[in-house]
Every structure is written in structure tokens, then in C-alpha cells.
């Protein structure tokens, strides 16, 4: 992913695609919080990155001065004409369009709807464990062999896309989220590949409606008019990319933490009812997502001279580690009682799919712990994390001891 020279000073030249950042951003964040809480870089044409919870929340809630028309920092800004819909509605939409576009999706992701998906999700997790057991290996790549597959299956079934296209889906994730420093022509090729794929399935759904999310969107109305196929394609792209990478990362990070922290693992084995509380703490401590905004007009933000079209990286991981917002913020306390974390975002763009993500994470961990009550990192130095705006383990060798 990294296409830039290494960072020398994170306060004046940070790069969220840097390998050092991907490996462990938290010491960097803590240093910045002490000496430069809103660092700036000229990379990507100019980016600011507040690291205090207060500043992240202020910008996330300020839709007057910051636009969401693109939420992925890259070398190129999408045209202003995309507003208010943005590149991937509703997450890239500005008010007032955003409210109606988001409200349209909420019934799909209600707790009642998500509960209906739990049995099939659990059965698939057990199937994956069965495949792991069948290989008889003592070392398992928990990212490659387990975490990455679960959200792919769930979101593909919801959308009505073929499960066997899983490798293509992961390729789209890599193109869109990790290829941010690539030349424009390569970025365009990645987006075109995604939309050509989706358009084929949209055409098929128009000709053959069925009971899935694509047909639901094609039959939905916004402000009295049916959604255009272009709007549908962009929303499907959002659900596919975000629905896979964020949950994949959260599952992997949770397994990684338990593998390296045997005391927390033992507590969960002895007290399974603690898992929902522990899960929220793991989401706080290892929040996978950082969102972006663009500055609408030249302005001053707490002494920072922000220019129109400057990027803003809203680091929810940084907000979640701010000692002004959380006691013992850098510690993972799996029975933390008060935990208003920002792993699912802040403001009007808070993740509409949080119920789905929580269900997938909980079921994935329950099934893993039922089958592997004892496990550890096989080689801590071999673990590899994705960088960019979604961070999670991509190589995670775990030594398992089956029950």
C-alpha cells in the first residue's frame, strides 16, 4: 500500500499509509496528543488529523463547515458536483439529503432484522471451524482462515451476490481502501471494476427481482422518486466494501488481543456472559475505522489555518484512546462499565450497520471460543496489519488447542 517516503516527523508530515502506522499507531497518536493535537501533512494534497476526542467529535458534528462527499483520503478530490449525495450515499452525503438516504436503510439494519441473520451466521462460523479442524494444523491464520470469510458471506447473502465471488470482493476492498496512494488511472480502474461488477447484478435484479437488499433498493423511493441505478450502485458499493473490511478487522483484532492476553481469554472462558461487555471494550481499544471529511471553505479551527478542500482524517481510534474521554484509556479493561466509544463513528454519520457488525463480531467470537478455549500467538512478529483508514490484522498466525 505504501507509495510515499517514510515519515520523519509525524506532527508535520504524517502518513496513515505508512508501515509504521499500520503496525502500531497508538504510540504515535499519544505523542501527537501531547505536542501537536491537530497534525498536518502536505501529502495527499493537504490533510489534518485531530487526535483528541473533543476535536474529532466537533468536526464529525459540524456539517456546515465540513463536507462528507468523499470519506476516503486519496491523492484526488471528487468533484464538488457530487454533493450533496457524495460518492457513496448515505455515508458520503451532506444534510439535508443525508437524513432521508440514511433513514431509508435503517429498517434493513434494525435489531429485529439482524437477529434473523444470527442462525445462518453461527452455522457458517461453525463450518469454517470444521474446515480448520479438518486440516489438523496446530497453527491457524485466524485472519485468512476465519475472520475475513464471515462478513463476506453475510453481506453477500444480504445483497444477493454470489458467495463464490468472495475473492473479487476482497480485491475491491484492497483497491478502494488500500490503494489510496496509487496514480489516478489505477484508482479509476479499481472503481470501474467495482461498478461494472455491480451494474451487471443490478441489471439482473431489474430483470429478475428477488427478496434481497439490491431489489429492496431498486424498489425504494427517495423524495417521491425511485432511486436511480447509479445511486443504488454506489450504496451497494458502500455496503459491500464497508460491510466486509470493518467487521473482518474487528474480529481479527479481538482474536489477536485474546491470543496475546491469556488473563482476558481465561476470564471469558470462565464467564462467557462477560463477552458483550468485553466486545465493546475491544471495539474501543482497537477501533478499525478512520473517516474523512473535506473542508468547505478557508477557515480557522482551533488555531489551525484549514484551506478549502483540505482533507480531515477523523481518527476514531485516536478519540477512543484519549485520556480526557476515558479512564485508563490505553488499557484494555474487558469489564469496563461506562464505554461510550466512537468505534462506529460520531455525529449524523454514525454507522447504520452497527447492529449487524456487533452480531457478526459476537457470534464469531462465541464460536471461536467454544472451539478453541486455549490459543496464543504462534509468532507475534509475523502478524501483519492493514494500514490506511481501516486497520485490522491481515496475517494472524494463532496456535490453537482444540477442546
Spatial distance between the Cα atoms of 8 and 12, rounded to a whole number of angstroms: 9
Return the HEC string of 36-70. CCCCEECHHHCEECCCCHHHHHHHHCCCCCEECCC
Element spanning 141, H or E: strand 139-141
pLDDT of the residue at 269 = 97
Q: Mind listing the pLDDT tens digit for each residue in 303-313?
A: 999 999 999 99
Q: What totals of helices (H) and strands (E) does the chain contain, helices first?
A: 15, 14
What is the distance, to the nearest Å, from the Cα of residue 9 to the centroid of all Cα atoms in its chain? 27
Nearest one of 106, 125, 108 to 116, comparing CA atoms: 108
Sequence-separated (6 or more) residues with CB below 8 Å from residue 300: 306
Q: Which residues pair with 400 in a beta bridge?
A: 375
The dihedral region occupied by 309, where left means phi > 0, alpha psi between -120 and 50, and beta the remainder, is left
The pair phi, psi for residue 335, each rounded to 5°, is: -110, 25
Spatial distance between the Cα atoms of 82 and 93, rounded to a whole number of angstroms: 9
Give me the average pLDDT of each 10-residue run along the chain (403 residues).
81 95 97 97 97 98 96 90 91 95 94 97 98 91 97 95 93 86 85 94 96 95 91 94 94 98 98 98 98 97 97 98 98 97 97 97 98 97 94 97 68
> Helix or strand or coil: residue 3?
coil
Element spanning 291, H or E: strand 290-295
pLDDT of the residue at 402 = 62
Spatial distance between the Cα atoms of 60 and 394, rounded to a whole number of angstroms: 28
Helix runs in 286-381, H state only = 316-320, 354-371
Report how far apart, in Å, the C-alpha atoms of 402 and of each of 21, 110, 132, 201 are: 34, 35, 10, 41
Spatial distance between the Cα atoms of 101 and 221, rounded to a whole number of angstroms: 9
Nearest one of 10, 34, 67, 23 to 348, comparing CA atoms: 67
Spatial distance between the Cα atoms of 386 and 395, rounded to a whole number of angstroms: 9
Report how far apart, in Å, the C-alpha atoms of 294 and of each of 13, 83, 250, 267, 315 are: 18, 11, 26, 43, 14
Q: Mind listing the pLDDT tens digit for each residue in 227-256?
A: 999 999 999 999 999 899 999 999 999 999
Q: Mind listing the pLDDT tens digit for each residue in 301-354?
A: 999 999 999 999 999 999 999 999 999 999 999 999 999 999 999 999 999 999
Amino acid at each position: 500500500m505504501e507509495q510515499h517516503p517514510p515519515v520523519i516527523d509525524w506532527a508535520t508530515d504524517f502518513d496513515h499509509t505508512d508501515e509504521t502506522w499500520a503496525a502500531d499507531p497508538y504510540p504515535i497518536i499519544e505523542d501527537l496528543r501531547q505536542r501537536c493535537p491537530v497534525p498536518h501533512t502536505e501529502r495527499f494534497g493537504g490533510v489534518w488529523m485531530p487526535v483528541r476526542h473533543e476535536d474529532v467529535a466537533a468536526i464529525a458534528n459540524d456539517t456546515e463547515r465540513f463536507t462528507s462527499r468523499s470519506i476516503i483520503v486519496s491523492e484526488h478530490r471528487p468533484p464538488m458536483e457530487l454533493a450533496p449525495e457524495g460518492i457513496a450515499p448515505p455515508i458520503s452525503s451532506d444534510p439535508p439529503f443525508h437524513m432521508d438516504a440514511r433513514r431509508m436503510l435503517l429498517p434493513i439494519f434494525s435489531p429485529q432484522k439482524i437477529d434473523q441473520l444470527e442462525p445462518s451466521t453461527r452455522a457458517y462460523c461453525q463450518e469454517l471451524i470444521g474446515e480448520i479442524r479438518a486440516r489438523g494444523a496446530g497453527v491457524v491464520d485466524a485472519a485468512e482462515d476465519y475472520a475475513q470469510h464471515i462478513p463476506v458471506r453475510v453481506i453477500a447473502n444480504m445483497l444477493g451476490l454470489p458467495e463464490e465471488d468472495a475473492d473479487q470482493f476482497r480485491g475491491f476492498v484492497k483497491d478502494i481502501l488500500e490503494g489510496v496512494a496509487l496514480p489516478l488511472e489505477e484508482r479509476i480502474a479499481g472503481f470501474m471494476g467495482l461498478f461494472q461488477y455491480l451494474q451487471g447484478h443490478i441489471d439482473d435484479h431489474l430483470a429478475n427481482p428477488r427478496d434481497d437488499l439490491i431489489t429492496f433498493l431498486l424498489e425504494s423511493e427517495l423524495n417521491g422518486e425511485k432511486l436511480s441505478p447509479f445511486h443504488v450502485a454506489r450504496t451497494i458499493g458502500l455496503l459491500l466494501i464497508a460491510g466486509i473490511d470493518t467487521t473482518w478487522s474487528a474480529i481479527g483484532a479481538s482474536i489477536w488481543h485474546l491470543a496475546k492476553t491469556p488473563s482476558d481469554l481465561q476470564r471469558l472462558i470462565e464467564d462467557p456472559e462477560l463477552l458483550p461487555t468485553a466486545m465493546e471494550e475491544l471495539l474501543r481499544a482497537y477501533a478499525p475505522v478512520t473517516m474523512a471529511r473535506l473542508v468547505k471553505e478557508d477557515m480557522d479551527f482551533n488555531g489551525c489555518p484549514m484551506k478549502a478542500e483540505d482533507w480531515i482524517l477523523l481518527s476514531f481510534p485516536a478519540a477512543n484512546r484519549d485520556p480526557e474521554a476515558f479512564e485508563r484509556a490505553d488499557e484494555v479493561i474487558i469489564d469496563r462499565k461506562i464505554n461510550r466509544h466512537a468505534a462506529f463513528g460520531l455525529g449524523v454519520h454514525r454507522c447504520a450497520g452497527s447492529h449487524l457488525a456487533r452480531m457478526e463480531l459476537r457470534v464469531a467470537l462465541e464460536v471461536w471460543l467454544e472451539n478453541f478455549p486455549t490459543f496464543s500467538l504462534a509468532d507475534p512478529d509475523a502478524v501483519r496489519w492493514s494500514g490506511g483508514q481501516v486497520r485490522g490484522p491481515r496475517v494472524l498466525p494463532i496456535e490453537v488447542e482444540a477442546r
